[in-house]
Amino acid sequence: MSLYQHARDGNVERLRDAMGSDSAAVRRRAAEFLGEVGDGGEQATVDALLRAATDDEDGEVRGAAVDALDELGDGALEQLLSELTGTTGSEAEWVTARKFARALQADRPELRMAAANALSRLDDASGLSHLVDALDDDDPRVRLRAAQACGTFADARAVPGLTGRLDDEPRVRRAAANALGSIGTDQALGALLDLLDESDESLRRIAAGALGKANNPEPVEPLARALGDESAVVRNAAVYSIIELLSNVPTQQSHAVRDRVVSELKSADDETVVEPLVEILTDGQQSRQRRNAAWILGRVAESGSTLAVEALAEALADDDAQTAQFAATSLKNLGGPIVEDRLLDRIGTEHPEDARAKAVFVLGQVGGQETLNRLEDLTDDESSAVRKRVFSAVSKLRAGGP
C-alpha cells in the first residue's frame, strides 16, 4: 500500500514505520504526510519526526521533518528547538519573537529553519527584520522558510529582501514571489512583472495571479500578453487578474483602463478569454468582479459564443441588480440568433419577473419576426413590468428595429 493511501486512511503507524526506509525520498514523503495527518499530542509521532529532523543524513528529509513538526503545533516545534539547543523543561521557552529571532543565528540550519517557521506563526512583527536578514542565509532551506514567513506578515519592509531572492534557486524564487504577491504594494507587484516571461510555469502563474491587486494600469499589457501563454493555468490567472484590476483601479483611471483591457482582450484567443470570464460571472463571490465580467463579455466574446450567451442570460436573474443590468447590455451588444433563442426561453412565467423584463427589453433590440410573434402573446402578462417592456419591444420590432 502506498504512503498516500496510508495518509488517506490516517494510518499514522505505517507512516512512522516508513521513516525508517532506506530511501530518502520515502522518508521525506512520510514526514510530509505525518505533518498533514499526525497528532501533535501523540508523542510517538513527534519523536519519529524529532529523530529525522536532528539525525537524518539527508537534508531534504530533515527539512521536511522540521516543517511537519511545525504543522503539528507549537508544542512539537518547542520540543525540536529544545532538542537542537540542548535545553530542557522550562529553559526552552521558545514562545517569544525574541528567542525565535535569536535562534535564526544558530549554527545548525535545522534550528534556523524551525525558528523561521515559528516566527511566521507569531502575531508579532518584531521578528520581521530578523526574517529579512535570514533571506541572505547560506542555506537555501532557511531562505525558503524565511521567504514564506515574510509572506505571512505581508509587510512592505520585506520587499527589497524578497526582490533580491527572485534570482535564487526555484523553490526560494517561488516563495519570494508568493510573498511579494501577498504584500501587494506597487513596489512588490512591480517586481513580479518580469516573471511573466520566465520559463518556470509556477512563477508565471504566481505573477499573473498577483498582479490583479495593482492600483494602476501598468500590469494590463503584460497580463494581456499572458493570455497567449502556453499554460492554461497561467492564462486563467491572467484573466482573473485583469478583472480584479478593473475592480481596484481608481475611479478616475477606470475608463481608460477599461478601454485598454477591451482592446487587449479582443486581440486574444476567444476561448482563452471567454471561459474564465464565464467562470467569474457564474461562480465569483465578489459583486464588482462579476459585474466587470458581465460587462467585458459583451465586448470581447463572439456573437456565436454559446458559453458566453448562456452565462449572460442566466445572469439576468442575478441578485445583484448591476450585474443583471450589465448582462442585459452585453446580450444586446452581442445580438444574433443564439441570443434571441436563449432569451425567448426565458420569458415564461417560471422565470423571475425582473429577469423576464430584461429579456424582453433585449429581445426588442435584437429580435426578429419570431420574437415579435412571441411577445405579442405577452401583452396581457400579469406582470406590469413585463407588459411595459413588451409594449416597447413590440413597437420597435413592428417599426423594423430599435
CA separation for the pair 250, 257 (Å, rounded): 10
pLDDT for res 85: 61
Tell the residue number behind the cell numbers 516571461, with chain if given: 197
Q: How many CA atoms lie within 13 A of 21 on its CB side?
A: 18
As a whole number of angstroms, the distance between CA 382 and CA 191 comes to 59
161: Cα within 13 Å, side-chain hemisphere: 26
Question: 181 burial class (0-12, 13-18, 19+ CB within 10 angstroms)?
Answer: buried
Q: What is the DSSP-derived secondary structure letter of residue 301?
A: S
Total count of residues recorded for the chain: 402
In sequence order, which residues have a C-beta less than 8 Å from that of residue 56 and are 6 or more positions away?
A: 24, 27, 62, 65
Judged against a pLDDT cut of 90, whether residue 146 lies above it is answered with yes
Segment 58-102, tens digit of pLDDT: 989 998 998 888 888 877 877 877 766 655 544 444 455 677 788
d(C-alpha 314, C-alpha 343), whole Å: 9
Hey, CA dihedral for 32, 38, 41, 42, is it positive or negative?
negative
All domains of the chain in start order, with CATH: 1-95 (1.25.10.10), 103-191 (1.25.10.10), 302-402 (1.25.10.10)
Which among 33, 34, 36 has a CA at the least distance from the CA of 4? 33
- Whole-Å CA distances, 339 to 99, 107, 272, 306, 364: 66, 69, 21, 8, 12
pLDDT at 89: 44
What is the tens place of the pLDDT at every residue in 342-401? Answer: 999 999 999 999 999 999 999 999 988 889 999 988 888 899 999 999 999 899 888 875
How far is Cα 98 from Cα 326, in angstroms, rounded to an integer?
54
Please list, residue by residue across 239-255, b when 16 or more beta carbons sit within 10 angstroms of its beta carbon and e when fewer do: bbbbbbbbebbeeeeee
List C-alpha distances in Å: 75 to 89, 158, 266.
Answer: 12, 28, 55
Q: Identify which has the larger pLDDT, 19 or 402.
A: 19
**Mean local confidence (pLDDT), 200-204:** 96
Max Cα distance, the chain (Å): 91
pLDDT in tens, 270-289: 677 888 889 999 988 888 88
Closest C-alpha to 309, from 347, 282, 349:
282
H-run or E-run covering 133: helix 128-134
Residue 135: its pLDDT value, please? Answer: 97
